[in-house]
Amino acid sequence: MNRYLRLWEIPGAPLLLVGGTVARIGHGVTIVAWLLLVRAVTGSYAEAGIVAGAISLATAFAAPVAGRLVDRFAVRTVLPILALLYSGSQILLLITVLADLSTTVLLVAAVFTGLFFPPMSPAIRSGWTHLTRDGTGYEGCRTTAMAAESTVFELVFVVGPLLVSGFVLAATSLRAVDPSLSGTASAIVLATATTAIGTVVVARGRALAGLTGNGSGQRTVGVGPLRVRGFPMMLIVTAAVAFSFGASPVAIAAFADIYAVGNPAAATGLLIAVWSIGSAFGGLTYGALPLSVGVDVRVPAGRATVVLAGLAVGYALWTVVDGTTSFGVVLLLTGAVIAPATAMLAEMVAAAVPASMLTEAYTWFTCVNMSVAALGAAVTGRVVETAGGVRSSFLMCAAAAAVGCAGALLLWTAFAPGGARGRSDRRSPMTEVR
């Protein structure tokens, strides 16, 4: 706990932790709410998966551009503009869904929503890297900071689904004609407001003041961080894990449809929240451990190899349960490795990528996460509607995590002692010459 108290003392850290949670609650809400809302209107998980996938794909392709803009013009300038555009597009998509317009119209609106998604998490990770750089006196807080960030992000997926379930249950108690539809729509409105307000407050606060941008005209060009040694393999590991993360909510929703007693939509939110609670607990534990700081890629890569092997086993265990209570217990246990794995990937980036392109590097992770997660959601949307599809989707998740484990092992091997280590440039991530 002393490590977290030390982290809290860093100037600007409380706003990153608390404000960052509020700013991203909307993502925890919408990842479930859009799936349930489109399913309630159209009656198809496949179409719901396609709409959710369109949002994710658009976000994926826009993220590196947004990251480079942040590196160029500063967080406090770029993020508030994107947040307001994103909120407006969310409302537009909500109107098109409730009006039951054609799939083509839904997809167009979904794409606009994804294009304007503010890269809050990459900016916050860059902020933590900047606040714990050499010379600040907080160099030893890097691992704890990344673990705390991953845990906070997981809390978003605890609070978000619970809010969705709460709105659905409230609509049920008020005897709404269609509680799933009205409840999830109300949750999306709340998500839109928290994203807009929270992003503006955090982006303009002291926490990210060091990320001031570079207006000199010298900037990252070409493929940027993709040319950094080891970075492409990190993206492959991320892609494997992201596929399983994208597939999981759809598979869990389908599981709840089969086994939940009462309201499957509310049960889906609760199950995903339980999974995220396990992840948050795992992240807090990882950050509190007296581990060495991962300034060498090999350190977090070795840890990631172990936890991703555990994640693959956990997904495989999902196939043996046949009730929501037992499933919830397994979700809680297997979720414990998710936040640590995310923190380890962030540590690898901080160790390998020069500070001048750090935000963009983290947005490449967003790009891969969102695009491959979209693929996972779309594929699973089809699979769960076939005979034995739920079990098959769980096995797909296990296989994807195993691929991620193999990639982390390759990184650990590639950065063996004696070779180039890909250490991070500890200067300000926004002000050095590119």
% of residues, the chain, pLDDT over 90: 23
- How would DSSP label each residue in 237-257? HHHHHHHHHHHHHHHHHHHHH
- Average the pLDDT over 176-202 and give the result: 88
- Average the pLDDT over 302-309 and give the result: 94
Q: How far is residue 407 CA from its own chain's centroid?
A: 20
| Res 196: pLDDT | 92
pLDDT tens string 131-156: 887 777 777 788 888 888 877 877 78
Q: How far is residue 70 CA from its own chain's centroid?
A: 19
| Res 96: pLDDT | 93
| Res 93: pLDDT | 94
Q: Which of 122, 153, 163 is nearest to 338 (CA)?
A: 153
**233-249 burial by CB neighbour count: b if 16+ within 10 A, else e?**
bbbbbbbbbbbbbbbbb
- Average the pLDDT over 31-54 and give the result: 83
Greatest mean pLDDT among 377-381, 386-390, 417-421 lies in: 377-381
- Average the pLDDT over 186-192 and give the result: 92
CA atoms of 196 and 203, how far apart (whole Å): 11
Using pLDDT thresholds of 50, 70 and 90, give the confidence band for residue 425: very low
| Res 216: pLDDT | 41
Q: Hey, CA dihedral for 213, 242, 318, 272, is it positive or negative? A: positive
Q: Hey, CA dihedral for 120, 86, 192, 31, is it positive or negative? A: negative
| Res 369: pLDDT | 79
Domain 12-211+227-414: state its class: mainly alpha
Q: Which tokens go with 35?
A: 């799936």
CA atoms of 430 and 213, how far apart (whole Å): 5
- Average the pLDDT over 228-251 and give the result: 90
